[in-house]
Structure 1
Amino acid sequence: MNRIEIPEDYEDRLAAGRHAAARLPAGAVREGVDRALDAAPSRDRYEQAADLAERAESLTEELMRRGFDGTDADRVAWLRLDYLGRLQSLALSPTIDRLSNPAVADAIQAAWTAAEAARSEYVLLLERAHADLVAARVPDRAGDELRDRIARSAHERFSHTTDDDLCSAEVNVEGRLTGFKFLVPNATLDTECEELSVQATATVQAAQAKAVERLGELLA
């Protein structure tokens, strides 16, 4: 953040401005000038606001660099989400050849739930550790309206299936995994775990890309 350099005679300039405004004839022009002068922040107020903005920017950058990991109870699937909940990577255990399609699909969804929980917990910890930043939040009518639009679209689902019908993934408008399944019988038995991981990752990411397009429409 680039701070504004406040002149050393800032307070003197404000005082001079108020003195000059007092000499204006009563009316709309004088009222407008008075409102502008009243809105001018004090030096301390500006410095406090700038400090908060710099901290918020630093925390945002830190959050953007983080990844959030999750696995299921039996450690069949591991995955990582970024700060927006987008899938970065997914790996499956070589033991999937002993498991059924539904069991591995359930493990992926359980790992996703764990990663989402880690992401939510981290954001909550940030909010608790920096309560003054949350308290200083300026009302954002446009942001509130956008959140309402997203909430009204919470029922929408976006899915993708591989060309060979190996697997299918479904996400909501925020990109969260709402369903995953292997469609080919014995997929976990007949497909190498590395290849299955690659295919599963690409399938979820393709579904999330469709959700991102929808979010873009909501933002427009």
Structure 2
Amino acid sequence: MKSILLAATMLAGLATGAVAADAVAEVPVASTYNWSGAYVGVHAGGGWDHVDFDFLPAPNPANHNGSGALGGLQVGYNFQTDNIVYGVEADISAADINGSTECPNPTFTCGSKVSMLGSVRGRLGLAMNDLLIYGTGGLGYGTIDIYDRNSGGTTFDTKKTRAGWTVGLGAEYAFDQHWTAKAEYKYFDLGSDDYLTDSLVRAKTQIHTAVVGLNYKF
């Protein structure tokens, strides 16, 4: 009987130790790279947009897609708790995202141009030492020029700076304690507004961007 009790006690001890070991193994190891601090950087890439373009009051659409390059600056600040990195980032880009199509009146060309794009966003990510995977979202804004152009080359247009929202995903890699490189995708919805060309136009602008960037962390 004593042997049975002793064996049972030993098995219980081994099981308890195994459970404890598993629990320790499942605890995430804290990132050894410190992502906390302020940073500044540059970025460059491309943008692709879709513009719902409609002459008012009747539905006379001239919807079109555009594309082009963009590049600019970013500044931000990160906080880190174990493997979790969170913070805020602001960026601004000069852009040349253009698109056009034939207007309902085929003697005119209808088009748009995004000349500036920016955002102020929160960031939340998971650090795996020198690699950071993150999501981001917040305020998006941009300058949009809506136009039509007749066959003689005369352009009628209105330019507005619109505010909307943006969300995205990115990855950032640290080369050392100061320099990091990132790749990032963002979607912007700048909503709809009315623009005066040779007639009144209602346009809604949606933009996709993909950039690579370089940051210096202080």
Normalised by the length of structure 1, the TM-score is 0.27
Larger RCO, structure (CA 8 Å, separation 6 or more): 2
Hey, which of these two has a bigger chunk of strand by percent?
2
Normalised by the length of structure 2, the TM-score is 0.28
Hey, which of these two has a bigger chunk of helix by percent?
1
